[in-house]
Structure 1
Amino acid sequence: MSEQDNTQQPPEKKEKKSLSLNVVSNKEHKGFGAGTIDLSAVSCVMIDNGEAYIDVGAMHAKSKIERGIKFSANKEDVPNGRLCWIVWVAVDRTEEGASYAGATACPMLIDTEARRGWKILAQHVNNLDYAIKRRYVLDELGVEEKRALKNLLVSNNPEWWDRSPDKLKEALEV
């Protein structure tokens, strides 16, 4: 055996694979990460008592108002709950610049004192998906909530608001 054959090559470094949320689709899985979506372009807006604010914890059901709350799928379990909203907002970046490309709202009842809450998890997941797919589902919001959401989106980035589709602007008209 020659000296050259005896030398060891350093092992090849494997590329680190990132994990992300898998979405079920009708396409065949083609390996690690197939069918994943990028949630980095989605923000969570909470609307509570007429105030809208961004809360990144909502992506994992750990927003300020959700922490410490035991949730039920039965509204009757939260008779003294106040109506709060989570709004999934997707941002799209094009050559013209970024815009608010999708927005969907989901109701929740929160009774902070009793530490109980109501929400339909399936609706939250579906509406997150709809926002990512550039849809607007804001019909259930009341006048006060629409005004708060619009004010937050405009003040967060007026240029994004200006470039956003008319469909969003019409949905938030009060």
Structure 2
Amino acid sequence: MDNNNTQPPEKKKLSLNVVSNKEHRGFGAGTIDLSQVSCVIIDGNEAYIDVGAMHAKSKVEKGIKFSPNKEDVPNGRSAWVVWVAVDRNEEGSYYAGVTSCEMLIDTEARRGWKILADHVNRLDASLKRKFMLDNIGPEQKAALRELLVEHNAEWWDRSSQNLKDLLS
């Protein structure tokens, strides 16, 4: 057997395909690039980055059985997944789309409530550079603003006035 330095062919990178009625044009055609989206969790008045939220495996979601019925989680505390899309212009990177999705978490009972369709739709809205922060209160907005500024003050400075107003 010849053991020349033959490398296996490089695997193609997988990404999420968009399903449509258009004809597929080969590997990777019609994909969504999620590399510019980050996940923030707001739990109480604390906001932190948690990449596990992209796959519903954030610190607050692990070990929780979710139901689409709020009444199944009578003792749940509110928590939010916040989708943060970053874009770049001639000046540099900035926070381009920010949307929040509510959840109820009862850690003791290991039960939770969330609407998966809402999470998907708000992720999509973030990718489309929209701001949807209507379901978080002043304390959560302050925590999110503090996290975004601390993470990268230059990105915050270049972000739209609309986002700054929403989080003030």
1:138 aligns with 2:133: yes
The answer for the alignment partner of 2:61 in structure 1 is 66
Task: Count how many residue pairs are aligned between Structure 1 and Structure 2.
Answer: 163
Shift of 1:17: 1.6
Larger Rg: 1
Shift of 1:27: 4.4
Shift of 1:28: 3.6
Choose the corresponding residue for 2:88, options 88, 93, 113: 93
Tell me which amino acid in the other structure corresponds to 1:80.
N
Shift in CA distance, 111/103, structure 1 to aligned 2, threshold 3 Å: same
Shift of 1:15: 5.5
Tell me which amino acid in the other structure corresponds to 1:88.
W
1:171 aligns with 2:166: yes
Residue by residue over 1:40-96, the C-alpha shift from the partner in whole angstroms, topping out at 9 and shown as x without a partner, is 110000000100000000000000000000000000100000000000000012221
Structure 1: where are the runs of 5+ without partners? Answer: 1-10
Choose the corresponding residue for 1:161, options 138, 156, 159: 156
Tell me which amino acid in the other structure corresponds to 1:18.
K
Choose the corresponding residue for 1:110, options 105, 120, 130: 105
Distance in 2, Cα, partners of 1:69 & 1:44 = 18
TM-score calculated relative to the size of structure 2: 0.92
The answer for the alignment partner of 2:74 in structure 1 is 79
Shift in CA distance, 26/150, structure 1 to aligned 2, threshold 3 Å: farther
Residue by residue over 1:108-139, the C-alpha shift from the partner in whole angstroms, topping out at 9 and shown as x without a partner, is 00000000000000000111111011111011
Distance in 2, Cα, partners of 1:25 & 1:168 = 32
The answer for the alignment partner of 1:147 in structure 2 is 142
Structure 2: where are the runs of 5+ without partners? Answer: 1-5
1:24 aligns with 2:19: yes
TM-score calculated relative to the size of structure 1: 0.88
User: What's the % identity of the aligned pairs?
Assistant: 72
